[in-house]
A = this chain, B = another copy of it.
Amino acid sequence: MNKHNPILNIRVVLSHTTHPGNIGAAARAMKTMGLRQLYLVKPRHFPDAQADAMAAGADDVLRDAVVCTTLDEALHGVVFTVAMTARVRDISIEVKTPREAIPQLLQHAASHPVAMLFGTEMSGLTNEETSKAQLLVKIPTEPEFSSLNLAAAVQLLCYELKMAAQNDLQVTPEIQPASHEQLEGYFEHLERTLLEIGFFTTQNPARMMQRMRRLYARARLEPDEINILRGILNVATEYNARLRARYQEEMKNVPEH
């Protein structure tokens, strides 16, 4: 029981898994999301070289895996179990999507061991196995092609756990937007430059600047980027002035006809 990290109280229970590669891939999927407790109910082949290969570095999870002969053994001490299903049965346990079910599981995991239960590759869980769960989870799929790879289903549930666990902790870093004055300074500079290099001779300046404002509003410019863009404007103006001077100089030397 881990009081500080609920994720560590969550068991992944794989029942009667046929292909050892799927056990290894499930271990890898768990470890990417911070889960460590793997329980295997009568796996056909385990340990196995194929499991090791697919674990791709999650060999600690495989090494610590608990091999059980019954599901009851694997669920010993667990207070809340969600069971995967690919079909909606007529039995009366509630069926939810992973997104609905996982927060509930996580809540229980804050204080007790809990489990996510997965059946065999071909036929999933038996009704008897399913009946030991408190909640059924159905991953939304295309009705005519609904069977996920076992490890892919484990990955998806572990990901939902990770997302739910960090929901209130972390926000992805936003960009550092430039200030109003920095933006206005840029637009003023842009308009002046476009006038200087002769862009507005064929364009309506006000309308064009509106379009530029709209474009850069979507980009939400950062102060650094404004510096770069203004640097380009400066160089373009210098270049243009230099060439224009040369052009006019040469034109002057052309004898008039």
Report A's interface with B, CB cutoff 8 A.
25, 28-29, 31-34, 54, 56-58, 94-97, 99-100, 139-142, 145-149, 151-152, 155-156, 159, 162-163, 166, 172, 175, 194, 196-199, 203, 208, 211-212, 215-216, 218-222, 224-225, 228, 231-232, 235-240, 242-244, 246-247, 250
In the bound complex, do residue B239 and residue A172 qualify as a contact, i.e. CB atoms below 8 Å apart? no
Q: Would you call A148 and B155 a contact (CB within 8 A)?
A: yes
Set B28, B96, B211, B250: member contacting A149, Cβ < 8 A: B28
6 extra interchain contacts, Cβ-Cβ under 8 A, other than A28-B148, A32-B139, A175-B218? A32-B148, A149-B151, A197-B232, A199-B236, A236-B239, A236-B240
Q: Are B247 and A239 in contact (CB under 8 A)?
A: yes
Q: Which residue of B lies closest to A239 (CB)?
A: B243
Contact of B225 with A215 in the complex, beta carbons under 8 Å? yes
Interface centre among A28, A141, A198, A215 (most CB of B within 10 A): A215
- Which chain B residues border A57 with CB–CB below 8 Å? 145, 147
Residue pair A235, B156 in contact (C-beta under 8 Å): no
- Is there an interface contact between B155 and A140, defined as CB atoms closer than 8 Å? no
Kindly list the 5 A-B residue pairs having the minimum CB-CB distance in the complex, ordered from nearest: A239-B243, A219-B219, A152-B155, A197-B239, A218-B219
CB contact under 8 A between A95 and B172, given known A221-B215, A238-B198: yes
Residues of B within 8 A of A147 (CB): 32, 56-57
Contact A162:B175 (CB < 8 A) given known A56-B147, A56-B149: no
Complex-state Cα separation, A145 to B172, whole angstroms:
19
Q: Assess the A228–B208 pair: CB atoms within 8 A.
A: yes
